[in-house]
Structure 1
Protein backbone atom coordinates (compact mmCIF):
# COMPACT_ATOMS: atom_id res chain seq x y z
CA UNK A 1 0.00 0.00 0.00
CA UNK A 2 1.43 3.38 -0.94
CA UNK A 3 1.69 6.55 1.13
CA UNK A 4 -1.40 8.69 1.81
CA UNK A 5 -2.44 10.75 -1.22
CA UNK A 6 -2.49 14.53 -1.28
CA UNK A 7 -5.98 15.25 0.00
CA UNK A 8 -6.69 18.51 -1.83
CA UNK A 9 -5.64 17.26 -5.26
CA UNK A 10 -7.46 13.99 -4.64
CA UNK A 11 -10.70 15.76 -3.76
CA UNK A 12 -10.58 17.64 -7.05
CA UNK A 13 -10.24 14.36 -8.96
CA UNK A 14 -12.95 12.52 -7.01
CA UNK A 15 -15.45 15.34 -7.52
CA UNK A 16 -15.77 14.12 -11.12
CA UNK A 17 -17.99 11.38 -9.71
CA UNK A 18 -21.56 12.58 -9.24
CA UNK A 19 -22.17 10.60 -6.05
CA UNK A 20 -19.02 11.90 -4.38
CA UNK A 21 -19.58 15.48 -5.53
CA UNK A 22 -23.09 15.38 -4.03
CA UNK A 23 -21.83 14.31 -0.58
CA UNK A 24 -21.34 16.74 2.30
CA UNK A 25 -17.80 18.02 2.86
CA UNK A 26 -17.44 16.19 6.20
CA UNK A 27 -18.22 12.86 4.51
CA UNK A 28 -15.76 13.59 1.70
CA UNK A 29 -13.02 14.32 4.22
CA UNK A 30 -13.86 11.20 6.23
CA UNK A 31 -13.49 9.12 3.07
CA UNK A 32 -10.06 10.43 2.10
CA UNK A 33 -8.56 11.22 5.53
CA UNK A 34 -7.20 7.72 6.21
CA UNK A 35 -7.24 6.47 2.63
CA UNK A 36 -4.28 4.87 0.88
CA UNK A 37 -3.49 4.47 -2.80
CA UNK A 38 -2.98 0.92 -4.02
CA UNK A 39 -0.98 0.54 -7.22
CA UNK A 40 -2.00 -2.56 -9.19
CA UNK A 41 -0.33 -3.91 -12.28
CA UNK A 42 -2.53 -5.15 -15.11
CA UNK A 43 -4.04 -8.48 -14.09
CA UNK A 44 -3.48 -7.96 -10.35
CA UNK A 45 -6.41 -8.45 -8.00
CA UNK A 46 -7.69 -5.61 -5.86
CA UNK A 47 -9.51 -8.39 -4.01
CA UNK A 48 -10.86 -11.86 -4.68
CA UNK A 49 -14.31 -13.35 -4.34
CA UNK A 50 -14.81 -14.57 -0.76
CA UNK A 51 -12.05 -12.49 0.85
CA UNK A 52 -12.89 -10.87 4.19
CA UNK A 53 -13.63 -7.18 3.74
CA UNK A 54 -10.62 -5.20 5.03
CA UNK A 55 -11.62 -1.98 3.31
CA UNK A 56 -14.92 -0.13 3.44
CA UNK A 57 -14.84 1.31 -0.08
CA UNK A 58 -12.61 1.56 -3.12
CA UNK A 59 -12.42 4.08 -5.93
CA UNK A 60 -10.67 3.82 -9.29
CA UNK A 61 -8.35 6.84 -9.48
CA UNK A 62 -6.40 5.79 -12.57
CA UNK A 63 -6.78 2.85 -14.94
CA UNK A 64 -9.71 0.43 -14.91
CA UNK A 65 -11.07 -2.45 -12.85
CA UNK A 66 -13.12 -5.35 -14.15
CA UNK A 67 -15.49 -7.43 -12.04
CA UNK A 68 -15.55 -11.02 -13.18
CA UNK A 69 -16.41 -14.55 -12.19
CA UNK A 70 -16.18 -18.00 -13.75
CA UNK A 71 -19.24 -19.70 -15.25
CA UNK A 72 -20.01 -23.36 -14.59
CA UNK A 73 -18.04 -24.40 -17.68
CA UNK A 74 -15.02 -22.40 -16.52
CA UNK A 75 -15.39 -19.62 -19.08
CA UNK A 76 -15.02 -16.05 -17.74
CA UNK A 77 -17.99 -13.77 -17.21
CA UNK A 78 -17.36 -10.03 -17.04
CA UNK A 79 -20.02 -8.27 -14.98
CA UNK A 80 -18.93 -4.66 -15.16
CA UNK A 81 -15.97 -2.54 -16.24
CA UNK A 82 -15.15 0.43 -14.01
CA UNK A 83 -13.08 3.47 -14.96
CA UNK A 84 -12.19 6.64 -12.99
CA UNK A 85 -13.75 7.79 -10.67
CA UNK A 86 -16.09 4.89 -9.87
CA UNK A 87 -16.64 3.74 -6.27
CA UNK A 88 -17.15 0.09 -5.34
CA UNK A 89 -17.12 -2.26 -2.36
CA UNK A 90 -20.25 -0.80 -0.79
CA UNK A 91 -22.06 -4.14 -0.45
CA UNK A 92 -19.51 -5.48 2.02
CA UNK A 93 -19.48 -2.14 3.83
CA UNK A 94 -23.22 -2.40 4.40
CA UNK A 95 -23.59 -6.06 5.35
CA UNK A 96 -20.09 -6.87 6.63
CA UNK A 97 -19.88 -9.98 4.46
CA UNK A 98 -16.88 -11.01 2.33
CA UNK A 99 -16.33 -9.41 -1.05
CA UNK A 100 -18.27 -10.84 -3.96
CA UNK A 101 -16.70 -11.42 -7.40
CA UNK A 102 -13.10 -10.78 -8.36
CA UNK A 103 -12.01 -7.16 -8.77
CA UNK A 104 -9.07 -7.20 -11.20
CA UNK A 105 -7.01 -4.30 -12.56
CA UNK A 106 -7.43 -4.44 -16.32
CA UNK A 107 -4.48 -2.11 -16.91
CA UNK A 108 -1.92 -0.59 -14.54
CA UNK A 109 -4.17 1.21 -12.09
CA UNK A 110 -4.33 3.26 -8.91
CA UNK A 111 -7.11 2.35 -6.49
CA UNK A 112 -8.08 4.45 -3.49
CA UNK A 113 -8.71 2.19 -0.47
CA UNK A 114 -10.79 3.36 2.51
CA UNK A 115 -9.98 1.49 5.77
CA UNK A 116 -12.96 -0.42 7.15
CA UNK A 117 -12.51 0.14 10.88
CA UNK A 118 -11.91 3.89 10.99
CA UNK A 119 -14.58 4.68 8.40
CA UNK A 120 -17.32 2.51 9.92
CA UNK A 121 -16.57 4.02 13.33
CA UNK A 122 -16.97 7.48 11.82
CA UNK A 123 -20.25 6.45 10.16
CA UNK A 124 -21.58 5.11 13.45
CA UNK A 125 -20.77 8.46 15.05
CA UNK A 126 -22.38 10.29 12.12
CA UNK A 127 -25.27 7.95 11.22
CA UNK A 128 -27.01 10.42 8.91
CA UNK A 129 -24.34 9.65 6.31
CA UNK A 130 -25.33 6.01 6.07
CA UNK A 131 -28.04 7.40 3.80
CA UNK A 132 -25.31 8.52 1.39
CA UNK A 133 -23.89 5.00 1.34
CA UNK A 134 -27.39 3.73 0.60
CA UNK A 135 -27.61 6.21 -2.29
CA UNK A 136 -24.39 4.82 -3.72
CA UNK A 137 -25.76 1.27 -3.68
CA UNK A 138 -29.20 2.29 -4.92
CA UNK A 139 -27.69 4.01 -7.95
CA UNK A 140 -26.01 0.74 -8.87
CA UNK A 141 -29.21 -1.20 -8.28
CA UNK A 142 -31.07 1.04 -10.72
CA UNK A 143 -28.46 0.31 -13.38
CA UNK A 144 -28.63 -3.42 -12.64
CA UNK A 145 -32.39 -3.37 -13.22
CA UNK A 146 -31.80 -1.71 -16.59
CA UNK A 147 -29.34 -4.43 -17.58
CA UNK A 148 -31.34 -7.45 -16.39
CA UNK A 149 -33.54 -8.75 -19.18
CA UNK A 150 -32.50 -6.09 -21.68
CA UNK A 151 -34.85 -6.31 -24.68
CA UNK A 152 -33.92 -6.31 -28.32
CA UNK A 153 -31.38 -7.90 -30.63
CA UNK A 154 -27.71 -7.92 -29.66
CA UNK A 155 -26.96 -4.65 -31.43
CA UNK A 156 -29.79 -2.95 -29.50
CA UNK A 157 -28.54 -4.32 -26.17
CA UNK A 158 -24.94 -3.48 -27.01
CA UNK A 159 -25.91 0.10 -27.87
CA UNK A 160 -27.61 0.40 -24.48
CA UNK A 161 -24.60 -1.08 -22.66
CA UNK A 162 -22.19 1.29 -24.42
CA UNK A 163 -24.44 4.20 -23.44
CA UNK A 164 -24.30 3.05 -19.81
CA UNK A 165 -20.53 2.70 -19.98
CA UNK A 166 -20.22 6.20 -21.40
CA UNK A 167 -22.13 7.44 -18.36
CA UNK A 168 -19.95 5.46 -15.95
CA UNK A 169 -22.84 3.12 -15.12
CA UNK A 170 -24.56 6.10 -13.52
CA UNK A 171 -21.53 7.78 -11.94
CA UNK A 172 -21.12 10.55 -14.54
CA UNK A 173 -24.56 11.18 -16.00
CA UNK A 174 -23.83 14.89 -16.49
CA UNK A 175 -20.33 14.36 -17.89
CA UNK A 176 -20.30 11.24 -20.09
CA UNK A 177 -17.22 10.05 -21.94
CA UNK A 178 -17.36 9.46 -25.68
CA UNK A 179 -14.10 7.47 -25.64
CA UNK A 180 -14.33 3.95 -24.18
CA UNK A 181 -11.28 1.74 -23.59
CA UNK A 182 -12.68 -1.77 -23.85
CA UNK A 183 -11.92 -4.80 -25.99
CA UNK A 184 -14.36 -6.89 -28.01
CA UNK A 185 -13.49 -9.85 -25.78
CA UNK A 186 -14.54 -7.95 -22.67
CA UNK A 187 -17.74 -6.82 -24.35
CA UNK A 188 -18.50 -10.41 -25.31
CA UNK A 189 -18.04 -11.57 -21.72
CA UNK A 190 -20.13 -8.70 -20.42
CA UNK A 191 -22.96 -9.38 -22.87
CA UNK A 192 -22.85 -13.18 -22.56
CA UNK A 193 -22.10 -13.46 -26.26
CA UNK A 194 -19.26 -14.44 -28.58
CA UNK A 195 -16.55 -12.17 -29.89
CA UNK A 196 -17.71 -12.85 -33.44
CA UNK A 197 -21.27 -11.74 -32.59
CA UNK A 198 -19.98 -8.63 -30.82
CA UNK A 199 -17.79 -7.83 -33.82
CA UNK A 200 -20.83 -8.04 -36.11
CA UNK A 201 -22.96 -5.91 -33.76
CA UNK A 202 -20.23 -3.25 -33.50
CA UNK A 203 -19.86 -3.24 -37.28
CA UNK A 204 -23.61 -2.66 -37.59
CA UNK A 205 -23.51 0.24 -35.12
CA UNK A 206 -20.46 1.66 -36.89
CA UNK A 207 -22.26 1.40 -40.22
CA UNK A 208 -25.10 3.46 -38.74
CA UNK A 209 -22.61 6.18 -37.80
CA UNK A 210 -23.05 5.60 -34.07
CA UNK A 211 -19.44 4.75 -33.25
CA UNK A 212 -15.91 4.37 -34.59
CA UNK A 213 -13.82 1.35 -33.61
CA UNK A 214 -10.14 1.47 -32.68
CA UNK A 215 -7.69 -0.92 -31.05
CA UNK A 216 -9.28 -1.83 -27.69
CA UNK A 217 -11.24 1.40 -27.94
CA UNK A 218 -14.57 2.69 -29.14
CA UNK A 219 -15.40 6.31 -29.91
CA UNK A 220 -19.10 7.06 -29.57
CA UNK A 221 -20.31 9.62 -32.09
CA UNK A 222 -23.67 10.69 -30.66
CA UNK A 223 -25.07 9.45 -27.35
CA UNK A 224 -28.64 10.54 -28.10
CA UNK A 225 -28.67 8.62 -31.38
CA UNK A 226 -27.07 5.65 -29.63
CA UNK A 227 -29.76 5.37 -26.97
CA UNK A 228 -32.48 6.01 -29.57
CA UNK A 229 -31.18 3.02 -31.52
CA UNK A 230 -31.12 0.94 -28.32
CA UNK A 231 -34.78 1.71 -27.76
CA UNK A 232 -35.82 1.14 -31.38
CA UNK A 233 -36.92 -2.47 -31.06
CA UNK A 234 -39.37 -2.73 -33.93
CA UNK A 235 -36.98 -4.36 -36.33
CA UNK A 236 -33.53 -5.79 -36.81
Structure 2
Protein backbone atom coordinates (compact mmCIF):
# COMPACT_ATOMS: atom_id res chain seq x y z
CA UNK A 1 0.00 0.00 0.00
CA UNK A 2 1.22 3.49 -0.79
CA UNK A 3 0.21 6.46 1.39
CA UNK A 4 0.59 10.23 1.57
CA UNK A 5 -0.08 12.89 4.21
CA UNK A 6 -3.76 13.37 4.94
CA UNK A 7 -5.74 16.51 5.79
CA UNK A 8 -8.38 17.27 8.33
CA UNK A 9 -11.80 16.83 6.74
CA UNK A 10 -14.74 18.46 8.41
CA UNK A 11 -15.04 17.05 11.93
CA UNK A 12 -13.38 13.75 11.11
CA UNK A 13 -10.21 12.51 12.71
CA UNK A 14 -7.45 13.09 10.14
CA UNK A 15 -5.85 10.19 8.34
CA UNK A 16 -2.16 9.84 9.24
CA UNK A 17 0.57 7.49 8.09
CA UNK A 18 0.71 5.96 11.58
CA UNK A 19 -2.82 4.55 11.51
CA UNK A 20 -3.69 4.40 7.80
CA UNK A 21 -3.17 0.65 7.47
CA UNK A 22 -5.44 -0.23 10.40
CA UNK A 23 -8.15 2.26 9.42
CA UNK A 24 -8.14 1.15 5.81
CA UNK A 25 -8.44 -2.51 6.79
CA UNK A 26 -11.39 -1.63 9.03
CA UNK A 27 -13.09 0.34 6.24
CA UNK A 28 -12.67 -2.46 3.71
CA UNK A 29 -13.96 -5.11 6.12
CA UNK A 30 -17.12 -3.07 6.74
CA UNK A 31 -17.73 -2.21 3.08
CA UNK A 32 -20.99 -3.84 1.84
CA UNK A 33 -19.41 -4.70 -1.52
CA UNK A 34 -16.41 -6.49 0.02
CA UNK A 35 -17.73 -7.60 3.41
CA UNK A 36 -18.23 -11.24 2.36
CA UNK A 37 -14.59 -11.67 1.34
CA UNK A 38 -12.31 -13.76 3.54
CA UNK A 39 -9.76 -11.87 5.60
CA UNK A 40 -6.86 -12.89 3.38
CA UNK A 41 -8.56 -11.17 0.42
CA UNK A 42 -9.16 -8.04 2.53
CA UNK A 43 -5.48 -7.96 3.41
CA UNK A 44 -4.61 -8.48 -0.28
CA UNK A 45 -6.72 -5.43 -1.23
CA UNK A 46 -5.17 -3.31 1.52
CA UNK A 47 -1.67 -4.32 0.48
CA UNK A 48 -2.22 -3.36 -3.16
CA UNK A 49 -4.36 -0.28 -2.62
CA UNK A 50 -3.08 3.28 -2.86
CA UNK A 51 -4.44 5.87 -0.42
CA UNK A 52 -4.36 9.41 -1.80
CA UNK A 53 -5.00 12.89 -0.46
CA UNK A 54 -6.64 15.43 -2.76
CA UNK A 55 -7.39 19.10 -2.25
CA UNK A 56 -10.41 21.00 -3.57
CA UNK A 57 -10.43 21.02 -7.37
CA UNK A 58 -7.77 18.35 -7.82
CA UNK A 59 -8.47 16.15 -10.85
CA UNK A 60 -8.93 12.43 -10.25
CA UNK A 61 -9.57 11.53 -13.86
CA UNK A 62 -10.81 13.25 -17.01
CA UNK A 63 -13.40 12.35 -19.62
CA UNK A 64 -12.11 9.91 -22.28
CA UNK A 65 -9.11 8.90 -20.14
CA UNK A 66 -8.35 5.15 -19.87
CA UNK A 67 -10.30 3.36 -17.13
CA UNK A 68 -7.25 2.16 -15.24
CA UNK A 69 -8.46 2.34 -11.61
CA UNK A 70 -11.38 1.79 -9.27
CA UNK A 71 -11.95 4.22 -6.40
CA UNK A 72 -13.58 4.31 -2.97
CA UNK A 73 -14.10 7.56 -1.05
CA UNK A 74 -12.62 7.23 2.44
CA UNK A 75 -13.18 10.86 3.47
CA UNK A 76 -14.70 13.95 1.87
CA UNK A 77 -16.44 13.94 -1.51
CA UNK A 78 -15.87 14.23 -5.26
CA UNK A 79 -18.01 15.75 -8.00
CA UNK A 80 -18.86 14.37 -11.43
CA UNK A 81 -18.97 16.87 -14.28
CA UNK A 82 -18.31 17.48 -17.95
CA UNK A 83 -16.95 20.53 -19.81
CA UNK A 84 -18.01 21.58 -23.32
CA UNK A 85 -15.61 22.69 -26.05
CA UNK A 86 -16.58 26.27 -25.16
CA UNK A 87 -15.60 25.75 -21.52
CA UNK A 88 -19.11 25.47 -20.09
CA UNK A 89 -19.27 23.00 -17.20
CA UNK A 90 -22.20 20.81 -16.18
CA UNK A 91 -22.25 19.07 -12.78
CA UNK A 92 -24.15 15.78 -12.57
CA UNK A 93 -23.64 14.26 -9.14
CA UNK A 94 -21.40 13.77 -6.12
CA UNK A 95 -19.84 10.72 -4.50
CA UNK A 96 -19.24 10.89 -0.77
CA UNK A 97 -17.70 8.85 2.00
CA UNK A 98 -17.86 5.05 1.55
CA UNK A 99 -19.04 5.29 -2.07
CA UNK A 100 -17.31 3.58 -5.02
CA UNK A 101 -16.81 5.05 -8.47
CA UNK A 102 -15.10 4.00 -11.69
CA UNK A 103 -17.10 0.79 -12.07
CA UNK A 104 -18.44 1.66 -15.55
CA UNK A 105 -15.01 1.41 -17.15
CA UNK A 106 -14.20 -1.53 -14.91
CA UNK A 107 -17.08 -3.53 -16.37
CA UNK A 108 -17.03 -2.50 -20.06
CA UNK A 109 -13.35 -1.59 -20.47
CA UNK A 110 -14.22 1.71 -22.16
CA UNK A 111 -12.82 5.18 -21.39
CA UNK A 112 -14.03 7.46 -18.61
CA UNK A 113 -17.45 9.00 -19.19
CA UNK A 114 -16.94 12.20 -17.16
CA UNK A 115 -14.48 14.40 -15.33
CA UNK A 116 -14.17 13.80 -11.60
CA UNK A 117 -12.58 16.30 -9.20
CA UNK A 118 -12.23 16.59 -5.44
CA UNK A 119 -15.02 18.58 -3.82
CA UNK A 120 -12.97 19.99 -0.96
CA UNK A 121 -10.25 17.94 0.81
CA UNK A 122 -10.79 14.22 0.40
CA UNK A 123 -9.04 10.87 0.77
CA UNK A 124 -9.45 8.02 -1.74
CA UNK A 125 -8.61 4.35 -1.89
CA UNK A 126 -7.39 3.58 -5.41
CA UNK A 127 -7.22 0.04 -6.80
CA UNK A 128 -5.42 -0.58 -10.09
CA UNK A 129 -7.49 -2.22 -12.82
CA UNK A 130 -5.16 -5.23 -13.03
CA UNK A 131 -5.62 -5.90 -9.30
CA UNK A 132 -9.41 -5.56 -9.50
CA UNK A 133 -9.49 -7.95 -12.47
CA UNK A 134 -7.34 -10.44 -10.55
CA UNK A 135 -9.71 -10.22 -7.57
CA UNK A 136 -12.78 -10.68 -9.78
CA UNK A 137 -11.13 -13.67 -11.41
CA UNK A 138 -10.84 -15.32 -8.00
CA UNK A 139 -14.16 -14.02 -6.67
CA UNK A 140 -16.56 -13.70 -9.65
CA UNK A 141 -19.51 -13.18 -7.29
CA UNK A 142 -18.19 -9.63 -6.84
CA UNK A 143 -19.33 -8.83 -10.38
CA UNK A 144 -22.89 -8.81 -9.06
CA UNK A 145 -22.01 -6.31 -6.33
CA UNK A 146 -20.41 -3.90 -8.79
CA UNK A 147 -23.29 -4.42 -11.22
CA UNK A 148 -25.70 -3.37 -8.47
CA UNK A 149 -23.67 -0.20 -7.95
CA UNK A 150 -23.96 0.46 -11.67
CA UNK A 151 -27.73 -0.12 -11.54
CA UNK A 152 -27.96 2.58 -8.86
CA UNK A 153 -26.14 5.00 -11.19
CA UNK A 154 -28.55 4.17 -14.03
CA UNK A 155 -31.60 4.65 -11.81
CA UNK A 156 -30.28 8.01 -10.65
CA UNK A 157 -29.66 9.07 -14.26
CA UNK A 158 -33.21 8.17 -15.31
CA UNK A 159 -34.59 10.08 -12.31
CA UNK A 160 -32.61 13.18 -13.34
CA UNK A 161 -34.01 13.04 -16.88
CA UNK A 162 -37.54 12.58 -15.58
CA UNK A 163 -37.24 15.41 -13.06
CA UNK A 164 -35.84 17.79 -15.66
CA UNK A 165 -38.76 17.02 -17.98
CA UNK A 166 -41.59 17.04 -15.44
CA UNK A 167 -40.66 19.21 -12.44
CA UNK A 168 -40.34 22.97 -12.07
CA UNK A 169 -37.00 24.46 -11.05
CA UNK A 170 -38.29 24.97 -7.50
CA UNK A 171 -39.32 21.34 -7.25
CA UNK A 172 -36.03 20.11 -8.71
CA UNK A 173 -34.01 22.30 -6.36
CA UNK A 174 -36.01 21.14 -3.34
CA UNK A 175 -35.57 17.49 -4.36
CA UNK A 176 -31.83 17.91 -4.87
CA UNK A 177 -31.39 19.56 -1.49
CA UNK A 178 -33.31 16.77 0.23
CA UNK A 179 -31.33 14.12 -1.68
CA UNK A 180 -28.03 15.78 -0.77
CA UNK A 181 -28.87 16.28 2.90
CA UNK A 182 -30.09 12.68 3.19
CA UNK A 183 -26.86 11.40 1.63
CA UNK A 184 -24.33 13.86 3.08
CA UNK A 185 -26.10 15.39 6.07
CA UNK A 186 -24.26 16.33 9.25
CA UNK A 187 -25.72 17.57 12.52
CA UNK A 188 -26.02 21.34 12.84
CA UNK A 189 -27.64 23.46 15.58
CA UNK A 190 -30.25 24.69 13.08
CA UNK A 191 -30.97 21.32 11.43
CA UNK A 192 -28.92 19.19 9.03
CA UNK A 193 -26.04 20.63 7.04
CA UNK A 194 -25.17 19.32 3.58
CA UNK A 195 -21.58 18.34 4.32
CA UNK A 196 -20.22 19.25 0.89
CA UNK A 197 -18.31 22.25 -0.41
CA UNK A 198 -21.30 23.46 -2.42
CA UNK A 199 -20.96 26.97 -3.89
CA UNK A 200 -24.21 28.34 -5.31
CA UNK A 201 -22.57 28.38 -8.74
CA UNK A 202 -22.08 24.60 -8.49
CA UNK A 203 -25.69 24.14 -7.40
CA UNK A 204 -26.90 26.16 -10.40
CA UNK A 205 -24.80 23.99 -12.74
CA UNK A 206 -26.18 20.87 -11.10
CA UNK A 207 -29.72 22.01 -11.95
CA UNK A 208 -29.00 23.72 -15.28
CA UNK A 209 -30.08 27.13 -14.01
CA UNK A 210 -28.50 30.58 -13.82
CA UNK A 211 -26.70 31.57 -10.67
CA UNK A 212 -28.96 34.63 -10.27
CA UNK A 213 -32.12 32.51 -10.38
CA UNK A 214 -30.63 30.05 -7.91
CA UNK A 215 -29.59 32.82 -5.52
CA UNK A 216 -33.10 34.30 -5.55
CA UNK A 217 -34.72 30.96 -4.79
CA UNK A 218 -32.29 30.15 -1.97
CA UNK A 219 -32.76 33.62 -0.51
CA UNK A 220 -36.55 33.18 -0.60
CA UNK A 221 -36.39 29.85 1.22
CA UNK A 222 -33.94 31.30 3.72
CA UNK A 223 -36.42 34.07 4.55
CA UNK A 224 -39.13 31.43 5.02
CA UNK A 225 -36.87 29.63 7.49
CA UNK A 226 -36.65 26.43 5.44
CA UNK A 227 -32.87 26.63 4.95
CA UNK A 228 -29.83 28.60 6.09
CA UNK A 229 -27.26 29.59 3.50
CA UNK A 230 -23.66 29.98 4.62
CA UNK A 231 -20.49 30.30 2.58
CA UNK A 232 -20.44 27.23 0.27
CA UNK A 233 -22.73 25.35 2.65
CA UNK A 234 -26.48 24.90 3.05
CA UNK A 235 -28.30 23.89 6.22
CA UNK A 236 -31.73 22.29 5.77
CA UNK A 237 -33.93 23.53 8.62
CA UNK A 238 -37.36 22.35 7.43
CA UNK A 239 -37.00 19.21 5.34
CA UNK A 240 -40.76 18.61 5.24
CA UNK A 241 -41.41 21.99 3.60
CA UNK A 242 -38.97 21.13 0.82
CA UNK A 243 -40.45 17.67 0.30
CA UNK A 244 -43.93 19.17 -0.19
CA UNK A 245 -42.66 21.09 -3.21
CA UNK A 246 -42.09 17.96 -5.29
CA UNK A 247 -44.29 15.21 -3.85
Q: What range is the shorter-chain TM-score in?
A: 0.7 to 0.9
In the other structure, the counterpart of 1:163 is: 178
In the other structure, the counterpart of 2:105 is: 92
TM-score by length of 1: 0.82
Shift, 1:77, TM fit? 1.0
Task: Indicate conservation of the 8 Å contact 2:28/2:35, yes or no.
Answer: no
Residue 215 (structure 1) aligned with residue 231 (structure 2): yes
Structure-2 change in CA distance of 1:22 and 1:69 (3 Å) = closer
In the other structure, the counterpart of 1:149 is: 162
Structure-2 change in CA distance of 1:23 and 1:222 (3 Å) = farther
What are the Cα deviations for residues 13-68 of structure 1, in whole angstroms up to 9, with x where unaligned? 5688xxx336533188265452111222322211111111221x212222321211
Task: Indicate conservation of the 8 Å contact 1:59/1:113, yes or no.
Answer: yes
Higher relative contact order (CA 8 A, sep 6+): 1
Structure-2 change in CA distance of 1:41 and 1:75 (3 Å) = same
CA distance in 2, matches of 1:162, 1:82: 15
Task: Indicate conservation of the 8 Å contact 1:154/1:201, yes or no.
Answer: no
Task: Indicate conservation of the 8 Å contact 1:59/1:87, yes or no.
Answer: yes
In the other structure, the counterpart of 2:138 is: 125
Structure-2 change in CA distance of 1:14 and 1:183 (3 Å) = farther
In the other structure, the counterpart of 1:188 is: 204
**How many pairs were matched up?**
221
Matches within 5 A, 1:28-177: 29=42, 31-55=45-69, 57-71=70-84, 73-150=86-163, 151-168=166-183, 176-177=185-186
TM-score by length of 2: 0.79
Task: Indicate conservation of the 8 Å contact 1:38/1:112, yes or no.
Answer: yes
What are the Cα deviations for residues 133-179 of structure 1, in whole angstroms up to 9, with x where unaligned? 111111122222221131322111001111222233xxx7xxx5431
| Runs of 5+ unmatched residues, structure 2 | 5-16, 187-191
